[in-house]
Amino acid sequence: MQFWPIALNLRDLEIAMAQPTRIPSQVAPIQFGTDGWRGLIAADFTFERVAQVAPLAARVLAETYGAENRSKLIIVGYDRRFLSEQFAQRAAEAVVRAGFDVYLGEGYAPTPAFSWAAKSLGALGAIVITASHNPGSYNGLKVKGSFGGSVSPEVTKQIEALLKQETAAPDVAPGSLTTFDPWPSYCEVLRSKVDIPRIRAAIEQGQITVFADVMHGAAAGGLAQLLGVEVTELNSSRDPLFGGGAPEPLPQYLSGLFRQMRRFRREHPDKLSVGLVFDGDSDRIAAVNGAGEFLSPQILIPVLIDHLARNRGLTGEIVKTISGSDLIPKVAALHNLPVHETPIGYKYIADRMLTSSVLLGGEESGGIGFGTHIPERDGLLSGLYLLEAMVAGGKDLSDLYRALQQQAGYTSVYDRIDLPLASMDVRAKLLAQLQTQPPTEIAGRAVADCLTIDGYKFRLVDGSWLIIRFSGTEPVLRLYSEAATPELVQQTLRWAKDWAAR
């Protein structure tokens, strides 16, 4: 098993002291959110609790998938967070004592690599130690099913129910523990879906220059392995504090990549370039164009749909969440592709992928999955398809996006803010107001209709929209808006903030 030494220098300590983490007065209960259980290391997320959860998760996986999958195998993997490999070792040992065979990753890898391993090796599922994009003070545990994707809320509720029971563990013969490298099989399946030789040739011939910000996470070294050629990788070292920020593909954490891209453009004004950004466990993606400008998934998803349909000739349903851009269904219409809309959260997309013929499912936070693969978000596969689209079109991602806007006859701007509230009581008051007296006019524009499958999505008469949505666990208001101009978007968001402050 491979371990990495943790070296905390003075810079790390200064960052940690400047950005202290609030330690809760009592330990939070073990609860699974939209994708796994996460908690503060040493406060909520401890070795004892991991050893408690992991065998129960294995038992529920066996009860859920064992009838069609007679295997006793559980995959256990981890990312590059503080103590992740030790947490994974403890989880693996606990699962073995519960009578299961375990394949334990011998090094870090992307979460989708362990999801793929669960499917390709015929396992009951996978347990992955990761807190995804959370700050460095957190770690977490994700549970994946035998099909290679996140389990449903019903499955995690069963795990939570077992945690509340004080029954002794059954006396069974222990299973076996084997280490394995998840990268070769994962890289092989991803290469089979993309024209790797064409991308590699374009890089080697200087037709495109690729930068990758792996945010100190599990995507480190991934593109080089997949492409067989070196790319310029930023933040590839293991840093448990993530440079004092969080491994989340958002503009505030990408100043280094912005500088690198702009410098390259000044020195090589005629060369095509792109910066790909991967979150901590590499299941989410964003990008930066050749001019050093941030490209959100709202831009990348339409480009990917067009590439898969136009250049690869693929068909299938497009699945979007309610916060996805209106350009997504318009691009789908260009290719006569059906569209299905879900609440926010990739779990809803994954559920749809299990029952329908889906080409692509994507969410505005960067989770994108493909019907050509497993029902799982995959940042590296998304990145490969984006490179393939650029090589096929010979254009910057922004140019590909603008061309789609022209073809669809639709131009828009999108933004989102998370607004802290004073208390859960304020949250309850605002929610009651939305339920009993929803606004009929927003920022001077009449409300045309309201969708309530997840929060409140107000469609305005000019075609713009606003989503007001509450966090389920903390006093936070999430506000999303899309409109024709940046001014209209900000006007709408200001209205929402003023409404919440009344």
Q: In the predicted model, is pLDDT for residue 183 greater than 60?
A: yes
Describe the crossing of helices 47-65 and 153-164 by its angle, rounded to 10 degrees: 130
Look at residue 76 and tell me whether its pLDDT is greater than 60: yes
pLDDT reading at 283 higher than 60: yes
Tokens found for residue 453: 């499958």
pLDDT at 18: 41
State the CATH architecture for 193-408: 3-Layer(aba) Sandwich (3.40)
Say what percent of the chain tops pLDDT 70.
Answer: 94
pLDDT band at 8 (very low <50, low <70, confident <90, very high): very low
Strand (E) positions, 262-324? 272-278, 285-288, 294-295, 317-321
Name, in order, each residue with C-beta under 8 angstroms of 346's C-beta and a sequence gap of 6 or more: 34, 35, 150, 361, 363, 367, 369, 377
What value does the mean pLDDT take over residues 175-188? 98
Q: Left (φ > 0), alpha (ψ -120 to 50) or beta: where does 56 sit?
A: alpha
Spatial distance between the Cα atoms of 243 and 145, rounded to a whole number of angstroms: 33
Q: Which amino acid is at 473?
A: T
Structure-token match 């799982």, residue found: 376
Backbone torsions φ then ψ of 86, nearest 5 degrees: -70, -40
Looking at residue 24, what is its pLDDT? 54
Rounded CA gap, 376 and 282, in Å?
Answer: 11
What pLDDT, on the 0 to 100 scale, is given for residue 7? 35
Q: What superfamily would CATH give domain 413-501?
A: Alpha-D-phosphohexomutase, C-terminal domain (3.30.310.50)
The domain locations on the chain are 10-182, 193-408, 413-501
Q: Tell me the pLDDT tens digit for each residue of 286-302.
A: 999 999 999 999 999 99
Q: Which residue has the tokens 């030789």?
A: 197
At position 241, the amino acid (one-letter code) is L
Residue 17 has pLDDT above 70, yes or no: no
Q: How far is Cα 64 from Cα 484, in angstroms, rounded to an integer?
A: 47
**Per-residue pLDDT for 15 more than 50?**
no
Please tell me if the domain spanning 193-408 has the same topology as the one spanning 413-501.
no
Residue 70 CB-density burial (10 A; 0-12 exposed, 13-18 middle, 19+ buried): exposed
Does domain 10-182 sit in CATH 3.30.70.890?
no
Residues in Cβ contact with 471 at an 8 Å cutoff, skipping those fewer than 6 apart: 477, 478
For residue 28, the model assigns a pLDDT of 84
Cα–Cα dist 320/324, whole Å = 6
* Residues 331, 332, 333: CA angle, nearest 5 degrees: 90
Given a cut of 70, whether residue 496 has pLDDT beyond it is yes
Mean pLDDT, all residues of the chain: 92
Q: Are strands 73-78 and 138-145 parallel, antiparallel or unpaired?
A: unpaired
Farthest-apart Cα atoms in the chain, separation: 69
Our CA angle for 391, 397, 400, nearest 5°, is 85
pLDDT in tens, 203-220: 999 999 999 999 999 999
> For residue 381, which of 272, 228, 251, 223 has the smallest C-alpha distance?
223
Report residue 334 as tokens.
């260009």
Chain position carrying tokens 């859920």: 64
Share of the chain above pLDDT 90, in %: 87
- pLDDT band at residue 34 under the 50/70/90 scheme: confident
Which burial class, exposed, middle or buried, applies to 134 when counting CB atoms under 10 A from its CB (0-12, 13-18, 19+)? buried
Residue 502: pLDDT band (50, 70, 90) is: confident
> What is the three-class DSSP state of 403?
helix
